[in-house]
Amino acid sequence: MVLNVPGWRGRIEAEGGESPVEERIARGRRGPSRPMPSFRKFLEEEIKTDRGPFTFEGREALRQAVDHLGEILRLGLPGRTVSVLKGTQIGMTTVAVGLALYAVHVHLLNVGYFLPDQEFANRFGDTRIRPAIWNPRLSDAMRDGRYKGASSKGLKEFPGGDGSRFLYILGLRDIGNAISLPLDLLIRDEVDDLPPENLAWSNDRLDASKVALTFNLAMGRTPGGGIQAMYEDGDCSVWLVPCIACGGEWALEENWPDVFSGEGEPYLACPRCGARRARSAGRWSPRREAALEGHRSWRIPQLAVGAIHLGRIGAKWRAARRPSERAKFRCSVLALPDAGKSQPIDLALLALLRDAGGYSMEPIPS
């Protein structure tokens, strides 16, 4: 018996069907004796933002990804990946911090929270992790960590009756001095342009885990690469807002600026008939089957998040006149990666140059 939460084991065996529950969750772990809150409940009750307790009000579009992450942990589903291609300021980093704390504290897993560089990572523990904790019992349970006798910057330890769990906050650009802590959950935040070998190093941390969950989240800056490529490995869910007046249904970011009405108080308008629509009244729709099994992905633009004022988005759009400013708008607001003028050299560009100048150019064989 692994977990002594009433009703838990039976539910898993009924719904799981992948392998026996002991095999998926055990690894010598003992479950907590308290009832296990859902991830959604944990976020609402234990996590705060600088504006008060975390809430889904105005952030309804985040719920499906949150519930999916919670289900993976609750059922112990192995080897899953979740990727979120996001606009900035939508609240997803708060969700990721909440997931790290939920996994380490409630599910007793080892968690790596990986950021682009060490300076970023060093600040993150003080500015994002600790201030996000609402319940003092949770912050009291966390201390600076030691693993195999060594302390490492960014290592947070949660001692328990049967040993410690760790939350490791690390800048992935500088893995030279990193400790090789085995992990169950890997969170990669804003790591859009890291060297592939560093991403591989982070993946290797999961090798011994029965859970081996990866959660990627970032604003995309690299068309076809980084988080956008990860998103496209998944099932590519988009937020569709229906129009009752004309029966249309729209991915808001793909119809910008036609979905925006700036007359008077700005509102979201149907791009076909102009009817006023609510940004939160949408639904998630996967565009296809995941290219990689067990990989779900969401694209969450600022437009889908009512908590971000539409008037401010409109003002930003009007202020963005140069191509580089428009590109930044598309990345940060629409969650549509746009490299602006700094387009990567791809096959299409090579072909164009070859045709134009008679150059002899070939990609390096891989």
Q: Which residues bind Zn ion (CB under 5 A)?
A: 243, 245-246, 248, 270, 272-273, 275
Question: Which residue lies nearer to Zn ion by CB, 59 or 277?
Answer: 277
**To which H or E segment does residue 72 belong?**
helix 63-75
Q: How far is the CB of 89 from Zn ion (least distance, A)?
A: 28
Question: Which residue lies nearer to Zn ion by CB, 246 or 278?
Answer: 246
Question: Reduced to 3 states, what is the DSSP secondary structure of residue 94?
Answer: helix
Encoding tokens for residue 299? 């694209």
Q: Cβ–Cβ contacts within 10 Å for residue 77, how many?
A: 19
Q: How far is the CB of 174 from Zn ion (least distance, A)?
A: 51
Q: How far apart are CA 230 and CA 219, in angstroms?
A: 12
Q: How far apart are CA 300 and CA 109, in angstroms?
A: 27
Encoding tokens for residue 271? 């791009």
* DSSP summary character for residue 3: -
Question: Which residues, including other chains, have CB under 8 Å from residue 126's CB and lie 6 or more apart?
Answer: none
Write a three-state SS string for 213-225: EEEEEECCCCCCC
CA atoms within 13 A on the CB side of 215: 28
Q: How far is the CB of 320 from Zn ion (least distance, A)?
A: 27
> Cβ distance 189 to 217 under 8 Å?
yes
Question: Which residue lies nearer to Zn ion by CB, 273 or 315?
Answer: 273
Question: Which residue lies nearer to Zn ion by CB, 42 or 250?
Answer: 250
Question: Which residue lies nearer to Zn ion by CB, 163 or 257?
Answer: 257
Question: Which residue lies nearer to Zn ion by CB, 243 or 334?
Answer: 243
Q: How far is the CB of 270 from Zn ion (least distance, A)?
A: 3
Q: How far apart are CA 82 and CA 41, in angstroms?
A: 20
Residues of 190-202 as b/e, b for ≥16 C-beta within 10 angstroms? bbbebeeebbebb
Q: How far is the CB of 272 from Zn ion (least distance, A)?
A: 5
Q: How far is the CB of 244 from Zn ion (least distance, A)?
A: 8
Q: Give the strand pairing for 276-277 and 267-269.
A: antiparallel
End-to-end CA distance of the chain: 49
Q: How far is the CB of 302 from Zn ion (least distance, A)?
A: 22
Question: Which residue lies nearer to Zn ion by CB, 273 or 291?
Answer: 273
Q: How far is the CB of 255 from Zn ion (least distance, A)?
A: 11
Question: Which residue lies nearer to Zn ion by CB, 132 or 268?
Answer: 268
Tokens 């387009």 map to which residue? Answer: 343
